[in-house]
Amino acid sequence: MEQGTVTVDVAIDGDLPKGARPDLSVDGTIELERLDNVIYVGRPAFGQENNTVGIFKLVAGTSEAVRTPVKLGRSSVNTIEIINGLEPGDQVILSDTSSMDAHERIRLN
């Protein structure tokens, strides 16, 4: 494994696609596990799986966001499972907010 890339052998059943030739690159997704009925968000700039982090959640109907403790579960390349702290439909800030660590509430411009 190198920088998140794994080399695998691929076999195609049936006729080869037009233009196929030996040693072409193939992009694919390897599914290790499938989770059903999971609350998840895009992978934040901070926080590791199976940890609790403070994520700014937008307050509905306002231009403010409050720091909310969120327990994270398993993660994929792009998303992370929410165990506790957020509900479907909540809007959160996923970018790096470390410059606002001293604040519990922020106003968005």
Q: If residue 71 lies in a helix (H) or strand (E), which one and from where to where?
A: strand 64-75
* Contact indicator for 82, 73 with CB cutoff of 8 Å: yes
8-state DSSP, 99: G
pLDDT, one tens digit per residue, over 27-79 is 777 788 888 899 999 999 888 899 999 999 999 999 999 999 999 999 988 89
DSSP string of 17-49?
Answer: PTT--TT--------S----S--EEEPPSS--T
- Confidence category of residue 19, pLDDT binned at 50, 70, 90: confident
* Contact indicator for 49, 33 with CB cutoff of 8 Å: no
Q: What's the predicted TM-score (pTM) here? A: 0.72
pLDDT of residue 58: 97
Q: How buried is 72 (Cβ within 10 angstroms: 0-12 exposed, 13-18 middle, 19+ buried)?
A: buried
In 76-96, which positions are buried (b, 16+ CB within 10 angstroms) versus exposed (e)?
eeeebbbbebbeeebebbeee
pLDDT of residue 2: 65
pLDDT, one tens digit per residue, over 77-98 is 889 999 999 999 999 999 999 9
Report the share of the chain in percent with pLDDT over 90: 56
pLDDT surpasses 90 at 16: no
